[in-house]
Every structure is written in structure tokens, then in C-alpha cells.
Amino acid sequence: MSQSVVFTFIGRDQPGLVEKLSTTVADHGGNWLESRMSQLSGQFAGVVRVAVAPEQQESLRQALEALSSHGLTIVSQASDEDSTTDSGVFLHIVGNDRPGIVREVSRALARHQINVIDMHTEITSAPMTGEALFEASAEIQVPEGVDRDELEDALEAISEQLSVEIDLK
């Protein structure tokens, strides 16, 4: 039986970082299950979930943290949950970039006890004007009993306030 270890990492982007991480996991009998990684502004960062035998868990965590000698900052945590959550509710936001979009939408979600499962944001150029365009896609977990109309009203108010489009699917 295996247990999950979730770790985050960040370091200056350079070839071989994923290889160092994956070799460390494999050297401890771990199985790389899922990850999200990205290069942002010269840094490479990610979050990874691996499965490892309980007797290897602590040595894996120590070995990962020892990668600081290669310029990586790593934080690891044992996890009790082995299953992933599949909510099937998606949120899409697009509009001219401005401060506060993520804060206002996440505040409305939190008020309704909605959990963000996965979120991707980026800034692109608007096709015609070239202005900064903010776009976000998120998978969210809406608990039973949440008033969907009330949620949509709250998101619509944010949409009007910030002049962005917010679609809930």
C-alpha cells in the first residue's frame, strides 16, 4: 500500500530540473502521479503528487528537500487523500487586465464555500487593440445546497464592477 506525498518546488529555470526531481522520486520507489509545472519570469515552479511506500515517505521528503543544493526550494507534505476530486463545474473569466480580478472572484467563491480545484491564469494581448487581456479558467467544487442563482448573481455583480466576462458551466 502506498501513500501520497505532495511537494511544491521553485528554482531558477534550467535544463534538468524535472529530471532531478523525477530521479529522486524513482530512487525512493515513488510513482509520479500528477503535476502542474510552469516557467514564469525565469523561475520554474510546480506542484507534484507522488505515491510512495509508507516506509520510504520520510526519506523521500528529506531527499527532495536536499535538492536545495541544486538551487531548488522544496516543501513537501504527506497527504491522507489518494483520490482526485472531479467536480465538473468550470469557471471562465476574460476581460481587460486590472488589479483585483482574482481577489474579487475568489472572495465570492469563498463566501459560498466553493473550493478551487484547479486554476490557470494568463495575460495575453487583445486581438484588435493589443491591450493586456486577462484570462482565467478554473475547475471548482460547488457543495450541495449552494444556491446556484445566488452564486451567479454574485459573479454577475463582479462582472459588471470589473468589466469582465464570467461564465459558469
The predicted-structure confidence for 100-135, as pLDDT tens digits, reads as follows 999 999 999 999 999 999 999 999 998 888 899 999
Confidence band, pLDDT 50/70/90 cuts, at residue 88: confident
Residues 100 and 31 occupy one common structural domain: no
How much of the chain exceeds pLDDT 90, in percent?
89
Residues 51 and 101 occupy one common structural domain: no
Q: Is 101 among the domain residues? A: yes
Residues 70 and 97 occupy one common structural domain: no
Confidence band, pLDDT 50/70/90 cuts, at residue 87: low
Question: What is the structure's pLDDT at 79?
Answer: 86
CATH of the domain at 19: 3.30.70.260
Residues 71 and 106 occupy one common structural domain: no
Q: In the beta sheet, which residues pair with residue 90? A: 139
Domain tally, the chain: 2
Last residue of a domain, one of 52, 79, 106: 79
Confidence band, pLDDT 50/70/90 cuts, at residue 85: low
Q: Which domain holds residue 33?
A: 3-79
Q: In the beta sheet, which residues pair with residue 91? A: 138, 168
CA distances to 17, 31, 76, 91, 117 from 136, rounded to whole Å, are: 27, 30, 27, 8, 13
